[in-house]
A = this chain, B = another copy of it.
Amino acid sequence: MGRRPRRAGDKQTGRSDADLGPLAGYVGYVLRRAQSASFRHLERSAGELALTPGQFSQLAAIEANPGINQRRLAALFGLDKSTLSPAMEALVARNLVQRTRAAADARAWSLTLTAQGRQLLARMQARIEAQERIIAATLAPAERRRLVAVLRRIEAALDAAE
Hey, which bits of chain A sit against chain B, CB under 8 A? 8-9, 15-16, 18-23, 25-42, 53, 57, 60-61, 63-65, 67-68, 71-73, 75-76, 78, 125, 128, 131-132, 134-139, 143-144, 147-148, 150-159, 161
CA distance A41 to B28 in the complex (A): 10
Residue numbers in B under 8 Å from A138 (CB-CB): 150, 153-154, 156-157
Shortest A134–chain B CB gap in Å is: 5
Residue numbers in B under 8 Å from A31 (CB-CB): 31, 34-35, 38, 151
Residue numbers in B under 8 Å from A61 (CB-CB): 18-21, 23
Which of A26, A73, A75 has the most B CB atoms < 10 Å from its CB?
A26
